[in-house]
Amino acid sequence: MEQIIVWGLFFIFPFCISSGMEAEPPLELSRLTRELLESARDPEFFEWLVKARRKLHENPELAFEEFETSEFIRTELESVGINFNWPLAKTGIVASVGSGAHPWFALRADMDALPIQEMVEWEHKSKKDGKMHACGHDVHVTMLLGAAKLLQQRRNELKGTVKLVFQPGEEGRGGAYYMVKEGAIENVKGIFGLHVAQDMTLGAIGSRPGPFTACSGRFLATIQGIGGHAALPHQAKDPLLAMSSAIISLQHIISRETDPFDSRVISVGLVKGGEARNVIPETVTFGGTFRSKTLEGLYNLKHRIQQVIEFQVAVYGCSAIVDFMEEKARFYPPTINDQSLYDHVNNVGQHLLGGPSNVLHLPNTMGAEDFSFYSQHIPAAFFMIGAKNDTMESGIPLHSPYLVLDEHVLPLGAALHAAVAISYLDQQHHFVSSN
């Protein structure tokens, strides 16, 4: 807490504390952001970004299976002389740019795809059936690789070290938890992450200080009944009927037990049961996700979900086992943006993107992000970056098989990553030099 307070004072009053010695002046932010953006938009650099993104898009890999993705990243890092540690969390990579000296600041990109069949017909459509980068992680990786090149070009000017965190398993598997556990952010002073936003116009970024994304958990319920002929339902214990009642009753937790001002969500997205129209099955399963703004609220929902399912199916003479999959799909805590680091990114974004109108203050979201695991340990800032272009068929929601993103977001994200890291290290160096 003391460290965060000191940083907060620094970002607001960077010149208030002085030992009387002449400190090296901080970088001129407008010049830095302009130069980085010009470099990222250079035709040759942009062409490389697009090729990298499309190669990643054609070869999506699911959580903790990102072997080809990881190899591609390592090859690109090696091509520009950037050292890295690998593997962390099975396929993850942490690269380093700079002298190796402290302070260390981290930039993060997630690598995994989703089990979705791509429906967009274009030259670089996914080549792997049933797998797609439907959440933009191919874009995230490419932006961070672009930042890596920009940073390496300025490696001798860095006032510290930038850690590049390429993380597996964000989609429900908590890859960030395992990266933290294996030391990815040990001794790191702060971390920044970007996520594409298909509903935000290209050229804008947005976030909010404090809590940003929700906590999330998952559940899978297996209901055991007694099967039988559909013409003789009195001789069976119908798990389908029990499941239907349980699903409806779960919504009463939200509508009748939750304060309307306390946002919570329970959504059932999976139902499996029965193979024939004239047979009452013996077992059925259903599952979904639950969300809350706080971990306390999340665990309250967990308790009530289990109670409601077990009690409701018992009414129909059935039994239930509810699995919350906490080892395989860890509960995600809320992503909390550190105020000082949020202000820093906000300031950099305004210089890079042409003013405050392009840096949006976003509302809380019930979406979840495993970037939250980093924010539990060190100051963190997580921002959305617009990738919508009204002249394209973009604007389709994330996790859709029809997702289309404007690739001109690539140089913007690369330059923003680099500018945030360079200016952060410079300000930290100036702060130390002033004392």
Would you say 130 and 400 are in contact if contact means Cβ atoms under 8 Å apart? Answer: no
- State the DSSP string of 273-327: E-SSTTEE-SEEEEEEEEEESSHHHHHHHHHHHHHHHHHHHHHTT-EEEEE--TT
- Helix (H) / strand (E) element for 385: namely strand 380-388
- Helix (H) / strand (E) element for 267: namely strand 264-273
Query: Which residues does residue 98 pair with via DSSP β-bridges, in sequence order?
Result: 161
Would you say 339 and 8 are in contact if contact means Cβ atoms under 8 Å apart? Answer: yes
Would you say 140 and 57 are in contact if contact means Cβ atoms under 8 Å apart? Answer: no
Q: What is the DSSP letter of 15?
A: T
> CB within 8 A of 300, min separation 6: which ones?
292
Write the single-letter amino acid at 397. P
Query: Is 195 within any annotated ligand binding site?
Result: yes
Query: Is 171 within any annotated ligand binding site?
Result: yes
Query: Is 303 within any annotated ligand binding site?
Result: no
Of residues 36, 56, 63, 22, the one with CA closest to residue 328: 63
Q: How far is CA 396 from CA 35, 93, 128, 135, 371, in A?
A: 32, 31, 21, 11, 23
- The vertex-400 CA angle with 399 and 406, nearest 5°, equals 90
Q: How far apart are CA 238 and CA 244, in angstroms?
A: 10
Query: Is 344 within any annotated ligand binding site?
Result: no
Q: Say what the alpha-carbon torsion angle 401, 366, 292, 88 is, to the nearest 10 degrees.
A: 60
Contacts 24+ apart (CB under 8 A), 230-235: 230/277, 230/278, 230/279, 230/280, 231/278, 233/280
Query: Which residues does residue 383 pair with via DSSP β-bridges, in sequence order?
Result: 194
Place of tokens 């976030």: 207
Q: How far apart are CA 237 and CA 20, in angstroms?
A: 82
Query: Is 377 within any annotated ligand binding site?
Result: no
Lookup: tokens for 300: 């309250």
Cite the annotated binding site for Mn(2+) by residue number: 135, 137, 171, 195, 399
Cite the annotated binding site by residue number: 135, 137, 171, 195, 399
